[in-house]
Amino acid sequence: MQGDVRSAICHDWSLVRVWSGIFCASLLGVALSLFMNPHGREVLGPQEEKVAGEASKAGMAVVSVEEAQKIIREGGWLVFDARLESEYDVGHIPGALSFPYPQRDADFKEWASILNSGQKVLVYCSGKLCDDGLHLAFFLRDMGINQVALFVDGLEGWKKAGLAVE
């Protein structure tokens, strides 16, 4: 009888090890699928999707590095850097103006004389994980600026593309 109990316990532990191995492999597969698509390229994480998704849902244009380059090259747009002024001073996209989101109320008074409802504005932040650009873009729309676009890749994406920084 003691042999039967021991055999049953060993058998049960074997099943536990098999199922725990399957469970761990499944968790690993889920974790990898969150960060890689079927082609092995990185996809947006939750924060990145949130920033781009919120802008898109609100009908705001979300521009790529190439589109941001074109906007800057063609002119006619104000380009606002939503990062802190100390970060802006270290380096920013050429031609961009410092408009830190945390100081939006005070700085809006400064920029109000050149902003109007028809003014085209491009806003960016440090990169995909920063949402100050998104918040500044929403603030500007709330203040009556209708043509606001968000450059989600921000300064990080700009530098990654090998583009010049002032």
Can you spell out the DSSP letters for 91-116?
---TT-EE--GGGHHHHHHHHTTT--
CA distances 108 to 99, 101, 102, Å, are 8, 10, 11
Overall domain count for the chain: 2
Which range among 18-32, 76-90, 91-105 shows the weakest confidence by mean pLDDT?
18-32
How remote is the C-alpha of 10 from its chain's centroid? 51
For residue 52, which of 139, 140, 131 has the smallest C-alpha distance?
A: 131
How remote is the C-alpha of 115 from its chain's centroid? 26
Sign of the CA dihedral 112, 123, 76, 72?
A: positive
Are 83 and 147 members of one domain? yes
- Residue 111 CB neighbour total at 10 angstroms: 18
Range of the domain at 88: 46-160
Fill in the DSSP letter of residue 77.
Answer: E
Are 9 and 80 members of one domain? no
For 40, the 3-state DSSP assignment is coil
- Radius of gyration for the alpha carbons in the chain, expressed in angstroms and rounded: 25
pLDDT at 38 over 60: no
Chain segment 107-161, per-residue pLDDT in tens: 998 888 888 888 999 999 999 888 899 999 999 999 999 899 999 999 999 999 9
Are 24 and 59 members of one domain? no
Are 124 and 110 members of one domain? yes
Average pLDDT (67-87) is 94
CATH number of the domain where residue 147 is located: 3.40.250.10
